[in-house]
Chains A and B, each alone.
Chain A
């Protein structure tokens, strides 16, 4: 492979996740370089130059996110959002399990740039091996003087605190992550104020995704310009794509942005299971609108191209759906998830997600009536844009897009009381 790799640049062995192995691959040299030769502002500049955009889903430019924070504030916090809960997304887990040190180094670099003394990693409660690997990495790093007081003998000190989530999807939303970290029930907060102004414990806070932070050591080592040279123009670098669903070889792939979506499905993942035709793709985790098979013809994996096609790049969790799958049943799986995960704080999401689930559940049970689709559309438009956080939008977008694009299937199901297909989701 000639393509540069930020993550997939080593062979996985039994001890490739340890500190000595990571150091053997040149680990912690970026930290050394930054602490000894760079000012915090230089680190931020490199990240800005790199054009790195947040990998959690929203794709906000990381450099500009950092620039909003008042670094002279007495306390600034950094939170690493490792509550990877979006259905179809499993990239952060790979980083934790195989290269936690890369994340630790990234956190330290970001902490150095932002004048952070205490950084937090909020890790998803269901992650077990990831959690253990992260703790192991931190222990090794602490012993080696890489975390804690006077890192590498310099004036820079930073502690990393790991917090395990309680299993709520909504705690992956940045403001509820902070509420949860503060010890309260994971409710999102109204914005403004934004976390960059008043975040954790009312102090300015930066919240970055795992993949975003783990990319920073590479940027510091090779320079922001080198990173900006990879991939698509407005959405630079490489990205981890997790492909799941009806493909022959599901898994996680690192590809430069701008890589053709079709190529990743049909070449890298070995095509559709059982040689079936491609029916649809959910390109960026379950909450992004679905794309029909023919719509992905020219789609490349960068924010602009996917938006042009009518969806979002999101977290890079690509769900592939083969011909013969019942979209009504599939949608029920998604709505059940969102109804279960709605935190219940604000009215439209609390009531709306459960309402949609009930209606779709009724349709699937063969008791759909004429008018149900209009009802669902009214509910989605009542939720969208009217909620505290983005969970409401995330729950209503798939419903709206499924109904819009596969209306005939829904109508058939309501009319006949059964699926157009055999109704199974497995192939």
Chain B
């Protein structure tokens, strides 16, 4: 423990910490653009300058190691003057186009300009022109005029994703961010740089002009893309801003998915598959219970399923690795003892997808295999197991290998089949329920409901309760 004084407040810092880290940990705000806790220190934005008693020059607090008895001032006149000067420099060539910028509302530069900047620029010169809305990948647009060259994204591709696909080219105030290869950026973690960017220079093509951010609110959820179970924020429209004129679709829509920092599991990053989680969840839904291919009510479907179960001599259940721990427990309690339980993996790696790496992505593309195995073992189902009824729970199922066995299917998404299931019951997606997954390391991650489920869609736990009763 090292004691130092920041603004006359005694603060305890850890060995090896910087002044900025110690201050932030104690709730003392020092503005910073280029500093990020999970990236190396660049010290290039110079907004975090502080005064150290006994030193003639202001020092960047992000690169200033704490020493015992140090005295720091973050709001003396010269610090304020230096901050105002840096804000003048940063906004010198930054276009004043917050009105059409997606970042407005969550922009660090906007916040700092209000808090630390002078109201007006003292410059009379025209702003520099640079490439605008330039694709660095099919997913990301770059606006070089807005870029303040903090190099966060460059350091991200060097230090976290390891793709080295971005760099800063040219010199002086002509410097600009650029892909280092001629082909589009194909880093599987590329979308993280959109959130890392402290200004609106890197924009998500998917979210471009979809909504102003202050109409949205984030809900904490879990990515179902692989067995890492990264924490994510799912952005839905804030209820205050549900407008009838927008229509149901726009009010009930996931606008974007961004990482939710979770030190235990994913840190502050997720992979691009996670950023696309809303597309995965937005596939064509199964909304109607069916019996043998014809429309039925929920009650009819459930009683038919119950009848089939009662008649079966050797029933089997294929348990979904997308089921939450709570649903698994409900299944075990109600039906588990009456059936042979097999585990299944709903999804396998698709062609072109990163199968596994040493950053976040895991080979198992389902969130809760660990939970399933812990509760039911990992017996794999095979065609010749000789069951006369199969209860299939989960998506991406092909009935063909089931042979003549009766099929009761609980699914969330539509999938064309050679034959009809005997009973088909629509169930909710992860966005429509709360619960938890256990990731491959055995860490439990909770998710919260984002939307109410559509009318005829059932919660799997309720279905089992009614079937088991």
Interface residues of A (CB under 8 A from B): 168, 185, 190, 192, 339-348, 350-355, 358-359, 362, 369, 375, 378, 381-383, 385-388
Contact = CB atoms under 8 A, between A and B. Distances in A.
A342 B172 contact: yes
Nearest to B148: A347
Interface residues of B, number: 36
21 contacts: A190-B43, A343-B172, A344-B170, A346-B45, A347-B45, A347-B89, A348-B46, A350-B89, A350-B173, A351-B90, A351-B173, A352-B89, A353-B173, A354-B172, A355-B92, A355-B123, A375-B124, A385-B58, A386-B58, A387-B46, A388-B44
Given A168-B171, A369-B124, A386-B82, 6 more contacts: A341-B171, A347-B86, A351-B90, A354-B173, A378-B85, A378-B88
B88 A382 contact: yes
Contacts of B81: 381
B46 A351 contact: no
Given A369-B124, A385-B57, A385-B58, A344 B46 contact: no
B46 A386 contact: yes
B374 to A, nearest CB: 46
Task: Give the interface centre of B43, B167, B173, B175 by most chain A CB atoms within 10 Å.
Answer: B173
Interface in B166-204: 167-168, 170-175
A375 B88 CA distance: 11
B367 interface: no
Given A344-B173, A344-B175, A382-B88, A185 B46 contact: no
Nearest to A184: B167
A371 B175 CA distance: 29
B85 A382 contact: yes
A148 to B, nearest CB: 36
B174 A359 contact: no
A358 B125 contact: yes
A348 B174 contact: no
Given A355-B123, A382-B89, A386-B46, A344 B171 contact: yes
Contacts of A378: 85, 88, 122
Nearest to A186: B171
List the 6 closest A-B pairs by CB distance, nearest first. Answer: A382-B85, A344-B175, A351-B89, A354-B173, A190-B43, A342-B172
A340 B122 CA distance: 22
A340 B45 CA distance: 20
A10 B167 CA distance: 50
B86 A386 contact: yes
Interface in B443-460: none
Contacts of B168: 185, 344
A350 B149 contact: yes
B379 interface: no
B86 A350 contact: no
Nearest to A385: B57
B21 interface: no
A43 B88 CA distance: 50
A383 B92 CA distance: 14
B125 A340 contact: no
A291 to B, nearest CB: 24
Given A190-B63, A340-B172, A378-B85, A347 B44 contact: yes
B295 interface: no
A385 B82 CA distance: 9
Contacts of A192: 63, 65
Given A359-B125, A382-B86, A346 B43 contact: yes
Given A185-B168, A387-B46, A388-B44, A348 B173 contact: no
A289 to B, nearest CB: 18
B93 interface: yes
B60 interface: yes
B41 interface: yes
B74 to A, nearest CB: 15
A381 B86 CA distance: 11
B358 to A, nearest CB: 24
A168 B173 CA distance: 15
Given A339-B172, A350-B173, A190 B41 contact: yes
A343 B170 CA distance: 8
Nearest to B56: A385
B46 A190 contact: no
A348 B89 contact: yes
Interface in B88-122: 88-90, 92-93, 122
Contacts of B124: 359, 362, 369, 375
A351 B93 contact: yes
B88 A344 contact: no
Nearest to B49: A386
B378 to A, nearest CB: 47
Nearest to B124: A369
Contacts of B65: 192
A343 B45 contact: no
A339 B44 CA distance: 17
A364 to B, nearest CB: 14
Contacts of A353: 172-173
Given A344-B174, A347-B90, A355 B44 contact: no
Interface in B14-51: 41, 43-47, 49
Contacts of A190: 41, 43, 60, 63
A80 to B, nearest CB: 24
B85 A342 contact: no
Given A378-B122, A386-B46, A344 B85 contact: no
A346 B168 CA distance: 12
A187 B164 CA distance: 17
Task: Give the interface centre of A342, A350, A369, A388 by most chain B CB atoms within 10 Å.
Answer: A350
A389 B122 CA distance: 25
A350 B150 CA distance: 12
A344 B130 CA distance: 15
A346 B56 CA distance: 20
B125 A355 contact: yes
B256 to A, nearest CB: 29
Interface in B50-96: 56-58, 60, 63, 65, 81-82, 85-86, 88-90, 92-93
A341 B172 contact: yes
Contacts of A388: 43-44, 46
A355 B86 CA distance: 13
A203 B448 CA distance: 51
A362 B125 CA distance: 9
A389 to B, nearest CB: 11
Contacts of A369: 124
A381 B173 contact: no
Nearest to B47: A347
Contacts of B125: 355, 358-359, 362
A378 B58 CA distance: 17
